[in-house]
């Protein structure tokens, strides 16, 4: 299956740590990337190739992967981290697949 599964909503208290997960069979073979999208804005890459953080992205963001699950961790969440987060990977036929997204609310 090329489907990716994400929890639709996650909340985190200001300054605390939250982990967002992405599950799918394709993650056993292909690495996941993570994108942050704020309302009315284009997505921004925050983690590439499982664990790499692009230049300019806060070190609050980190990625990890195990088996069929990729994770994005926000350590010390800030108000500006409130956004939708999407994972993506490759499907069984090599096509790109996005997860349905997780809305992160910072309380």
Partner 1 sequence: QLHLQESGPGQVKPSETLSLTCNVSGGSIGSSSYYWDWVRQSPGKGLEWIGTLYYGGSTYDNPSLKSRVTISVDTSKNQFSLELTSVTAADTAVYYCASGYTGFNSLDYWGQGTLVTVSS
Contact set with partner 1 (CB under 8 A): 30-31, 33, 35, 37, 42-45, 48-49, 54, 84, 86, 88-90, 93-101
Give least dist CB 9 to partner 1, A: 13
Give least dist CB 21 to partner 1, A: 16
CB of 37 or CB of 76, closer to partner 1: 37
CB of 60 or CB of 103, closer to partner 1: 103
**DSSP states of the chain as a string?**
----EE-SEEEE-TT--EEEEEE-GGGGTS--EEEEE-TTS--EEEEBTTTB--TTS-TTEEEEEETTEEEEEESS--GGG-EEEEEEEE-TTS-EEE---EEEEE-
Give least dist CB 42 to partner 1, A: 4
CB of 16 or CB of 38, closer to partner 1: 38
| Cα(93)–Cα(31) distance, integer angstroms | 15
Give least dist CB 1 to partner 1, A: 14
């Amino acid at each position: 299956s090329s489907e990716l599964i994400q929890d639709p909503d996650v909340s985190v208290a200001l300054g605390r740590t939250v982990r967002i997960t992405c599950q799918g069979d394709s993650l056993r073979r292909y690495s996941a990337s993570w994108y942050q999208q704020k309302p009315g804005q284009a997505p921004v890459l925050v983690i590439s190739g499982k664990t790499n953080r692009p230049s300019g992205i806060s070190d609050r963001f980190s990625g990890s992967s195990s088996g069929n699950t990729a994770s994005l961790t926000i350590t010390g969440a800030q108000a500006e981290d409130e956004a939708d987060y999407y994972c993506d990977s490759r499907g069984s036929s090599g096509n790109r697949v996005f997860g349905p997204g997780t809305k992160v609310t910072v309380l």
